[in-house]
Amino acid sequence: MLNEKIPKSCLRASERGLGFKLIMNCNSCPPVIISCCPYVGSTYEVNRRFIFAMRLLGIGLVRETRFCGIMDLHGPIFQTTYDLIVNNIESSSDAVCKPILRRSVEEEKEKKMEATAWEDLEGPTKGLFQVTGHGGNENSILCR
C-alpha cells in the first residue's frame, strides 16, 4: 500500500531558462505538478533574480550563458526575454529612483530658501554688530 504512493516517475517539464516544473506520477493518484519557483509575467522569478544579480556584476547575456554552461545549468533565457527583464529592471529602478531624487531636490530647495530668508532679514548690516562703549559712544565692529 505504501509503495503505491511513491512516485513512479519524475519528469522535468516547462523549462524556461533556469526555471522549470516537475511532474510527479504515481499509480494511485493524478499527476502532481511542482513549480521550482513563482512564475511572474512571462518568465520564472529565478530568471529575473539571476539576470538582476549578473547585471549588478556587469555581466550580460553572453557571459550568463557561458556561466550556465560551465556550471552545467540549463541556458538562462533567450535574447527577447532577456531584453524584457532588463527593461523591467530599468523601469522599476526609475520608479524608485525618480521620487527619491525629486524629494531630495525639494529638500535642498527648502534649505536654500531658509538660508536666503535669513540673509534677507539681516539686510545691509550683515556682519556688523553694534557695541555700546563705556562713554555711551556707539561703535561698529565688522565681524567676518
Among 5-9, 10-14, 83-87, the range scoring the smallest mean pLDDT is 5-9
Q: What pLDDT score was predicted for residue 48?
A: 83
- Mean pLDDT (the chain, rounded): 76
pLDDT for the residue 113: 84
For residue 70, the model assigns a pLDDT of 80
Lowest mean per-residue pLDDT among 28-37, 75-84, 120-129 = 120-129
Q: CB 45: neighbour CB atoms within 10 A?
A: 16
Check residue 124 and give its pLDDT: 57
Residue 127 predicted with pLDDT over 70: no
pTM (whole model) above 0.85: no
